[in-house]
Amino acid sequence: MPNNSLVVHNETQFRKQVVDLAPGVWTAVGYAASTQHMIEGRETVTIVDTSESTSAAAHVLAAFREKTDKPVGRIIYTHSHRDHISGASVFSEGQTVPILASAGFESDLVGQDETRIAPNKALGRRTMAQFGIGLTPEERISLGCGPGNRPMEGMGAGHIPPTELFAEDRDIDLDGTLARLIHAPGETADHMAVWLPEQKILFPGDNWYHAFPNLYAIRGTPYRDFAKWAESLAMLAELGAEVLAPGHTQPVFGADRVREVLLTTREAILHVMRHTAEGMDAGLSQDDIAASISLPPHLADKPWLGEFYGKASWSARAFATGTLGWYDGNPTHLGTLSSAARARHMAELAGGVEALEAQAQATPDLQWRLELCDHLLALGASAEALKAETMEALAETEINATARNTYLWEAKKLREGAGA
């Protein structure tokens, strides 16, 4: 059985609905991996973020049309991640509309130099694993940031590049509704929050959602600046918002609660930074730092800091690598052994490959079993089925949706490769 907390998080945070935030302001939750927002003006509406696919965008637009039939006058991207910018062609309804974004906006959907050297195949594979693409809806319970079961046709197909880029914070008129675009780097450097000061509604993009922040995505990302993310949360908390409508999960109502979720999330980020820095200063390895991290009790009991999407141990590794690089100060790690060489030494210590396999079969420690399976595979032994079985067992215990999806996806590929 899957982790019940993850099931409950999926059922509550991604329940499909259009939520009334205030008269003329709505949020669509559960239709896609991300949320979409609509702000009504005198003659037109403004759309904030457009989903990951044209099919999801079409469902959201139909739901929004039950609220108003005013045409879309403009679109705002809070940031450049695919799940927020891929349905613009649907919302624009065949018309040319202004599309607003940060001057730092940069998406891999457009404008990429084909000569740029990057591990794109690795990124593609790890992205499919993280989001469980190819798993059944029953296997892929959740994305951590959105529902596991959602329309995916037209992924990335509806993106329209921004037409207006803003380098500074700016007040703008949304056809009679005052808004302020605020640069707030966090999950991405190009994050731009949308603030409605008269209604006291804040759209923070992905700088906050109901889960431990994804300070490092296991699909692979450049370093996300933890300090700037924490600074942005503090700045947003000072706005005095009474409604927080995040880029994922349900909105938060009440000035006190909005301030609490923003500041405790900031405190959690600072805790990861402090714990990791202190461990590095003490000469600890990344393994030991990651294995020893946990949130303090007054943060660990906050439901919005559950590790459904991000994870503290992954974040500690990301902070260590992002600040001082891969070398942890232990000169042993200046050299290396290949996986096969290390596996041969491990087998010799165990008394041979058969003894190593027996240890893998016998140990109740699932993580250790995975590591022993890797040694066996490096030696050419048949450990695919055991590793797949172990990953499937770990998946059922995981509160983290991306870890669960990755375990199940990789187990499925391993079984397919082994001809099972």
Instruction: Per-residue pLDDT tens, the chain, 420 aa: give them.
Output: 899 999 999 999 999 999 999 999 999 999 999 999 999 999 999 999 999 999 999 999 999 999 999 999 999 999 999 999 999 999 999 999 999 999 999 887 655 556 678 898 999 999 999 999 999 999 999 999 999 999 999 999 999 999 999 999 999 999 999 999 999 999 999 999 999 999 999 999 999 999 999 999 999 999 999 999 999 999 999 999 999 999 999 999 999 999 999 999 999 999 999 999 999 999 999 999 999 999 999 999 999 999 999 999 999 999 999 999 999 999 999 999 999 999 999 999 999 999 999 999 999 999 999 999 999 999 999 999 999 999 999 999 999 999 999 999 999 999 998 654
Can you tell me the distance from the alpha carbon of 85 to that of 53, in angstroms, rounded to the nearest whole number? 9
Question: Residue 418: what pLDDT?
Answer: 67
User: Of 10, 92, 15, 80, which is closest to residue 47 (Cα–Cα)?
Assistant: 92
Does the domain made of 4-255 have the CATH classification 3.60.15.30?
yes
| Domain 332-417, second-level architecture | Alpha Horseshoe (1.25)
Axis crossing angle, helix 255-281 with helix 226-237, rounded to the nearest 10: 160
Question: Which residues are bridge partners to 182 per DSSP?
Answer: 193
Q: Residue type for 408, please?
A: L
The pair phi, psi for residue 397, each rounded to 5°, is -95, -10
